[in-house]
Amino acid sequence: MNTENKKQTLLSEPLSQDAMRLARALYNTYKENDDGDLDMYIKIEAILRLLKLEDTQESLLYIRKLLEELNEPLGVKDFNFDGKIYPLHFVIFCKYSFDERTLHIQLSQEYLDVQQNYMQDAFL
């Protein structure tokens, strides 16, 4: 049985520059955590500074829009994860919620695996 993963073009359209900037910041924050925990709490002010946005309701809506853009499901063919092979499997970037002035992010281990092993159009 061939265990080599076939690289695939998975993004139906390119991500916006702000969505990629946010994704990379979230990924780098995850990588900086020594514990490897996929759960992170990030201050909204840090995201506003990253994206050079004013602290307004419209900016918060824009951040939500970017997270939805990142969470567009990716369909991966012949996905091998955690000892199981899926002919077609859909993955998302993260789960998230807002709490007052904090964004709670839970990155998807499946998505990180797809980025590393399956995506020709990887951006992290």
pTM of the predicted protein model: 0.88
pLDDT digits (tens, 9 = 90+) for 40-83: 999 999 999 999 999 999 999 999 999 999 999 999 999 999 98
Q: Is residue 9 part of a domain?
A: no
What is the span of the domain harbouring residue 100? 17-117
Q: Which pLDDT value is given to residue 33?
A: 83
Q: Is residue 6 part of a domain?
A: no
Radius of gyration of the chain (CA): 15
Q: Is residue 2 part of a domain?
A: no
pLDDT band at 3 (very low <50, low <70, confident <90, very high): low
Sign of CA dihedral 119, 124, 14, 94: positive
Into how many domains does the chain fold? Answer: 1
Q: Is residue 68 part of a domain?
A: yes
Q: Is residue 96 part of a domain?
A: yes
Q: Which pLDDT value is given to residue 2?
A: 45
Q: Is residue 66 part of a domain?
A: yes
Residue with tokens 């990924």: 27
Q: Is residue 10 part of a domain?
A: no
Q: In CATH, what number is assigned to the domain containing residue 60?
A: 1.10.10
Residue 23 has pLDDT above 70, yes or no: yes
User: What strands, in cross-sheet order, belong to the sheet with 102-107?
Assistant: 39-43, 102-107, 94-99
Q: Which one, of 99, 112, 102, lies nearest residue 27 by Cα?
A: 112
Q: Is residue 108 part of a domain?
A: yes
